[in-house]
Structure 1
Amino acid sequence: MHALFARLLTELTEGRAVVLLTILDTKGSTPRTAGSHQLILADGTTVGTVGGGYQEYVACEAGRAALADGTSCLLPLLLHKNPTADIGGVCGGELLVFCQYLAPADAAAIAFFTTLTQCLESHQPSWLALDVTVPDRWAMALQYGTQQVTCEAATAQPGLAACAGTALTAEGIQARQDGVLYEETLVQPRRVIVFGGGHVALALVPLLTGLDFFCTVVDDRSEFANSERFPMADQCIVTDFADLSQHVTVTPDDYVCIMTRGHLGDYEAQKYVLTCHPYYMGVIGSRAKLAFVRNKLKQDGFTEEEINRFHAPIGLPISAATPEEIAVSIAAELIAIRAKREGRQKKGAFIWREETDGSYHISKGTI
């Protein structure tokens, strides 16, 4: 997606118009889902895909017409027999595609897509809203963190943008009293902060980055937190664990894995992380180490409820022993947590198999 929007930005900046195709809604069986994008460039070529085949041909032809006319439009595509709008598809589904004309050298659009591409490049959690109440008078809003930027078509009327200034909350297309709004998550919150750059972290970080997480490694030893040791990490931070608040920012969107080299490092990391309220907190360690840190945290005034937010010991119970096996158990737990967070949890996902007297039975998990 980053490459597509980067190309869009290049086209606008260099003075060429472009049409952005976006699937706003689908029903039934379709090759691509809502949130799929494709560009129609000034020379008629394309970047990306909204599904391939004849449906994409029709969408691209509509996009080329929009480019020639300098207008935007909504395009319904029916992939089943229909007396008026059948395009010959056999998938059985329906799509709604928005053909969005973007004028060349539009300063507001360039600023908007500059911020959008920066969010994609830096993995900044971000959401896009698109007001298509009147297709040729569209308006967009991009929300990232506590900030929001907006952009609208040159033909938009003042006050038309139903999305501007509102918090983005839902996925897909919605009919509202003040218009029709489409919302899309551009970047899901997927940053994992790993405190401790030891053996388990060395196995875990490449595994997580291959699973579309983005990792920051923190250690108090420069030889354990550097780009040579962790080439796939987005960032490596070297700091004393007692001074984390000055050097490491943990947000409510983050996943945190604590695996420092000792009791005191874990304690300092847990004490700091508890004040940041991240989405997920896990800590590796023996029962003795976990009990030691728990007692110190209670002495600091943290409640049992707060401390119990830590997944401890971290990882799914798969009898992992080696650093590589432990990394797999942690990655599996994070996959499950992420799927639940993003609304992709499958039925029975948190049921775990345990062996008792040589046979297996089903019991509830603790994720």
Structure 2
Amino acid sequence: MLDIAAELQRWVEEGRDFAVATVVAVGGSAPRGPGAALAVDGEGTVIGSVSGGCVEGAVYELCVQALADGADGESVLERFGYSDEDAFAVGLTCGGVIDILVSPVRAHDAGRAVLGAALAAAGRGEPVALARVARGPAALLGHALLVRGDGTARGTLGGHPELDRTAAAQAHALLEAGRTGTVELAEDGTHCPGGLTLLVESTVPPPRMIVFGAIDFAAALVRAGKFLGYHVTVCDARPVFATAARFPGADEVVVDWPHRYLQSTRTDARTVLCVLTHDPRFDVPLLTVALRMPVAFVGAMGSRRTHDDRDKRLREAGLSERELARLRSPIGLDLGARTPEETALSIAAEIVAERRGGTGLPLTATDTPIHRASAPDGRTAAA
């Protein structure tokens, strides 16, 4: 439910009763992953999505029923899947299976304060994990535990005292990895599967996209990066070009030598670096630093001739074959792009393909699954 935190937090502040449906697990070609949520308030207002349209109507009715049951309404776990006999009945016509947890959240519920705190923290951009019992005894279903970035916890899952401690440790580990997933525990908190399944939703600050080179193509890439959910920084050593007025969509505009800024700023395994300078004075020292950092993506703009010259200079700078193999150059997928906007789309498409494990080919030319599920290491695997 943290993917709709801002809207839900407003409902909490207004004292509304609501029911929230959250995707717990997926199989096959399900359109949305664990953590995706849909909520319905007492007036029938709906926010969010759990399936991109396939089963929204049925999930909406489950939420309405959970609210109509009043104080007797409890959390329920429902499965929606594909039926060979009746493909267009209530189910996923794309062939997948999703398990959805539906929980009523009333104004005077004991656990509402925990959910409200999690929603508020997520809305502020703070790292937070919310662990909820998704499978297990009916008396525990839907109980929630909030875990913050420093490891402190609030709330209870309602079972054995050791269950909260173990669940908090597991949720904190997923939070540090920036992942949403499930954890199997026994009711006494031991690591024995089969007793309980916890859905752990993690929210962390948005990943960074750093665009080096304050050119017209950068302005279009800034807009594409923001659309994809990145915190976007533009960096250039030339103050006349690196101005907030030229890049109003950027979160930051920095005047500094690119390699020096990259060495001093925060990056992580989700960071995307786009080098648009195509000038050896800037991009060779910058890429020498970038290709030795544990970031998600390093791409550089330029012609084939520019790339060959850059590759030669980077080899002279001492980069290894393994380090050079990380460089996406020329940056972007082959879309035949010409304008800055088309080029930004090309670059964004390559970033998404790398992030999600896509081929970059037209779907009509492949027989691989359209939707991919998260792998244990945080990357993606075919679903």
Shift of 1:189: 6.6
Question: 1:60 & 1:243 partners in 2: Cα distance?
Answer: 56
Q: Deviations over 1:52-109 (max 9, x none)?
A: 43442133212443x534x74224366899xxxxxxx923457643233553796544
Report what 1:250 is aligned to: 267
State yes or no: 1:335 paired with 2:352: yes
Report what 1:164 is aligned to: 168
Are the aligned partners of 1:192 and 1:215 in contact in 2 as well (CA < 8 Å)? yes
Q: Which among 114, 117, 127 is matched to residue 120 of structure 2?
A: 114
Report what 1:270 is aligned to: 287
Q: Which has the larger radius of gyration?
A: 1
Question: 1:261 & 1:77 partners in 2: Cα distance?
Answer: 52
Q: Which among 199, 203, 209 is matched to residue 226 of structure 2?
A: 209
The residue correspondences of 1:74-93 to structure 2 (distance < 5 A) are: 74-76=76-78, 90-92=89-91
Report what 1:356 is aligned to: none
State yes or no: 1:192 paired with 2:195: no
Identify unmatched segments of 5+ residues in structure 2: 185-192, 369-383
Q: Which among 247, 260, 267 is matched to residue 230 of structure 1?
A: 247
Q: 1:60 to 1:106 in 2, by over 3 A?
A: closer
Are the aligned partners of 1:141 and 1:148 in contact in 2 as well (CA < 8 Å)? no
Q: 1:130 to 1:24 in 2, by over 3 A?
A: same
Report what 1:139 is aligned to: 144
Question: 1:30 & 1:275 partners in 2: Cα distance?
Answer: 37
Query: Normalized against structure 1, the TM-score is what?
Result: 0.70
Question: 1:196 & 1:135 partners in 2: Cα distance?
Answer: 56
Report what 1:61 is aligned to: 65
The residue correspondences of 1:321-360 to structure 2 (distance < 5 A) are: 323-340=340-357
Query: Normalized against structure 2, the TM-score is what?
Result: 0.68
SS in 1 for 2:63: helix
Are the aligned partners of 2:66 and 2:74 in contact in 1 as well (CA < 8 Å)? no
SS in 1 for 2:169: coil
SS in 1 for 2:7: helix
Are the aligned partners of 1:4 and 1:47 in contact in 2 as well (CA < 8 Å)? no
Are the aligned partners of 2:133 and 2:157 in contact in 1 as well (CA < 8 Å)? no
| Aligned CA-pair RMSD | 4.4
Report what 2:7 is aligned to: 7
Q: 1:347 to 1:130 in 2, by over 3 A?
A: farther
Q: 1:349 to 1:334 in 2, by over 3 A?
A: farther
Q: Deviations over 1:221-264 (max 9, x none)?
A: 34433443223323322223252146532222112110126211
Shift of 1:3: 8.2
Which one is further off, 269-278 or 306-315?
A: 269-278
Report what 1:20 is aligned to: 20
What letter is aligned with 2:241?
F
Question: 2:144 & 2:6 partners in 1: Cα distance?
Answer: 20
Report what 1:316 is aligned to: 333
Shift of 1:306: 0.9
Shift of 1:24: 2.3
Are the aligned partners of 1:74 and 1:96 in contact in 2 as well (CA < 8 Å)? no
Question: 2:349 & 2:314 partners in 1: Cα distance?
Answer: 28
Shift of 1:206: 2.4
Question: 2:29 & 2:325 partners in 1: Cα distance?
Answer: 43
Q: 1:327 to 1:75 in 2, by over 3 A?
A: closer
Are the aligned partners of 2:300 and 2:331 in contact in 1 as well (CA < 8 Å)? yes
Shift of 1:281: 0.6
Are the aligned partners of 2:332 and 2:348 in contact in 1 as well (CA < 8 Å)? yes
The residue correspondences of 1:91-102 to structure 2 (distance < 5 A) are: 91-92=90-91, 96-102=99-105
Question: 2:27 & 2:305 partners in 1: Cα distance?
Answer: 54
Q: 1:159 to 1:302 in 2, by over 3 A?
A: same
What letter is aligned with 2:21?
L
SS in 2 for 1:91: coil
State yes or no: 1:38 paired with 2:55: no
Question: 2:217 & 2:144 partners in 1: Cα distance?
Answer: 47
Q: 1:19 to 1:57 in 2, by over 3 A?
A: closer
Q: 1:149 to 1:46 in 2, by over 3 A?
A: farther
Report what 1:130 is aligned to: 132
Are the aligned partners of 1:285 and 1:313 in contact in 2 as well (CA < 8 Å)? yes
Q: 1:274 to 1:312 in 2, by over 3 A?
A: same
Report what 2:374 is aligned to: none
Shift of 1:140: 3.8
Report what 2:379 is aligned to: none
Q: Among the aligned pairs, what percent are the same residue? A: 27
Q: 1:211 to 1:97 in 2, by over 3 A?
A: closer
Report what 1:279 is aligned to: 296
Are the aligned partners of 1:13 and 1:104 in contact in 2 as well (CA < 8 Å)? no
Q: Deviations over 1:168-216 (max 9, x none)?
A: 3886656534521234565797542211111221233223434555532
